[in-house]
Amino acid sequence: MLLGRRGAIILTEAAIRVFGMSLWNRSRTKPKAWLTDEEDRLTPERSLWQDENEPISHYYRWIWEYLAYLPLLCDVERHSSVLEIGCSHGRTSRGLLQCLRSPGSYSGFDVVRVQIEDATRRITAIAPNFRYSHADIYNRHYNPQGAVQASDFVFPYEDASFDCVYAASVFTHLLPEELANYFQQTARVLRTGGKALFSLFVLDFYRGAGTPISKDYEFEHPFGGHQGVAVKYPEYPDTVIAYSEEAIGRAAGSAGLEVLRIVPGLWSNNPGIAVNEQDLLVLGPKSR
């Protein structure tokens, strides 16, 4: 049967409506936060997250934040060697997959063995220059059977091995002796001209109860015997802890480091610049 021009047009319009509706219906089957197959393979199971009920946006913010912070604040380049303290399941290192190229490399350690094993399976398998190591450090929450205290732990890397050392939300839980040791270890493994980036809470920005964005960030209790250190819970001081700029400077100087910059965070609810939720501390080897 031959169709006239008008009939062909009518059939074409009908086909477009049907096909277009099919595409529309197909697109509506995807959730708002759908992942490609590759992204899905690189994303850890929720059982390994710090909070498995967090939205996917919270997981991805770690990735993109540190991909921006490290080049901008620590001069990380594509051939840099980078160390992360407390790497979890590789959440921040995901962003560096797009950045670091051999001979550039990433190393990370964490106290949770299952997260390290998972990161190795997902990430090292496709990027051999990304390496994850278990550190058997005592942690009240995550590794209560740990063999060594954080205050005594020696980073398992050679002297002057890294251009950058960083930690995301680790120093918010370190007690003074532990912080001092991690500063000393950082100074040891940093190369000349290298930089360190640590997120923490700077006590100078705290304006009293009721002023931060969350009650979790209220530091009303001085930590006994340590000037310029305060905690939220005196009975469990490692839950969350804050240090004054002076206390940070003293510890850094004793380790052979100096404070290069402090970038305020959102937590204190102060006016002016605010970048990360926590404050960002940039350190470098002390000038001689």
CATH number at residue 213: 3.40.50.150
Q: Which domain holds residue 207?
A: 38-285
Q: In this structure, are 111 and 138 located in the same domain?
A: yes
Sheet holding 221-222, edge to edge: 221-222, 229-231, 241-243
What residue ranges of the chain have pLDDT lower than 70? Answer: 1-28, 30, 288
Q: In this structure, are 64 and 186 located in the same domain?
A: yes
User: pLDDT at position 256, please?
Assistant: 98
How many domains does one find in the chain?
Answer: 2
Q: In this structure, are 95 and 162 located in the same domain?
A: yes
